[in-house]
Structure 1
Amino acid sequence: MNEFPITVRFPVQWGEMDAYGHVNNARYFTWFEAARIAYMARVGLVSPEMQKPEGGVGPIVAATNAEYLRPVVFPADVVVGARVTRIGTTSLTMEYAVEDAQSGVRYARGGAVLVTLRYPTYEKVPVPSEIRAAIEALEGRIFE
């Protein structure tokens, strides 16, 4: 998980299992969401300002995907990593990974495209320069 600047650990709960004896595929998107929100909060793109009547700038998911490499079964602890791989004019591309917390076995990987919006009007806006700078500092690189 060294390549992911943000990681979140989750103990797998019995109720996350499906009839086939492994964690249901939808749970991965919940893990991705939690890691994404932790990342966005760290760089200042998720804040209480978005929920005020005058709003603020925040992300919205435009597309998301997952690739399941091997099933997660109870009991387990997983670590979910998040990173930004691209910064566009009004969008961010993220990548995720899900690994076993003890062995490092990779269970899944995924991604998302986020668009920066002005809430509550949902007007698409450029990624703010201070957010870009915070992402570049966190990632340790400059995005073209």
Structure 2
Amino acid sequence: MRHIYRCPLRWADMDAYGHVNNVVFLRYLEEARIDFLFRPEKDFKQGSVVARHEIDYKRQLVHRHHPVDIELWVTEIRAASFTLTYEVKDGDQVYVRASTVIVPFDFEAQRPRRITAEEREFLREYMDDAEEKAVAA
């Protein structure tokens, strides 16, 4: 299953050429990630930090007044980290493909922590079948 976030575009997002600035895409990914992780029914209450981003720009996104879709899914779950993969797109037109490695973090103790059983169960709901089979093997 994939999580879909409808990301609004803002005037301040564009560069001098009227395209969404490349740096802004990282903020879009953050918005999608927050929308995914911090929902009332499923929540990483203890917090998390980003350990790594990878982003591939496929084509320019021209500013407009309607949102762009960000599809997000889980591609890897480890003991103390997980990887989210994203596509920023309109239908079949992909602007960006990206991934983020996230580490659950205990802010009170100021250290990384392991993924809880509840968090693991939640994350598994968003794994593609191919990735889930690879993790189970």
Q: What is the TM-score with the length of structure 2 in the denominator?
A: 0.83
**Partners of 2:128 and 2:22 in 1: how far apart?**
32
**Matched residue, 1:112:** 100
Deviations 1:11-54 (A, max 9, x none): 32232110132100111111100111122124321x3xxxxxxx
Letter in 2 for 1:10: C
- Counterparts in 2 of 1:24-39, with a 5 A limit? 24-39=21-36
Deviations 1:53-104 (A, max 9, x none): xxxx22110111211100000225310111111001100111011002xx43
**73, 79, 88: which one aligns with 1:83:** 73
| 1:73 partnered with 2:59 | no
**Partners of 1:84 and 1:122 in 2: how far apart?**
25
Structure 2 unaligned spans of 5+: none
| 1:23 partnered with 2:12 | no
Across the two proteins, how many residue pairs are aligned to each other?
Answer: 129
Letter in 1 for 2:52: A
**Matched residue, 2:125:** 137
**Partners of 2:113 and 2:67 in 1: how far apart?**
38
**Matched residue, 2:53:** 64
Q: What is the TM-score with the length of structure 1 in the denominator?
A: 0.79
Structure 1 unaligned spans of 5+: 48-56
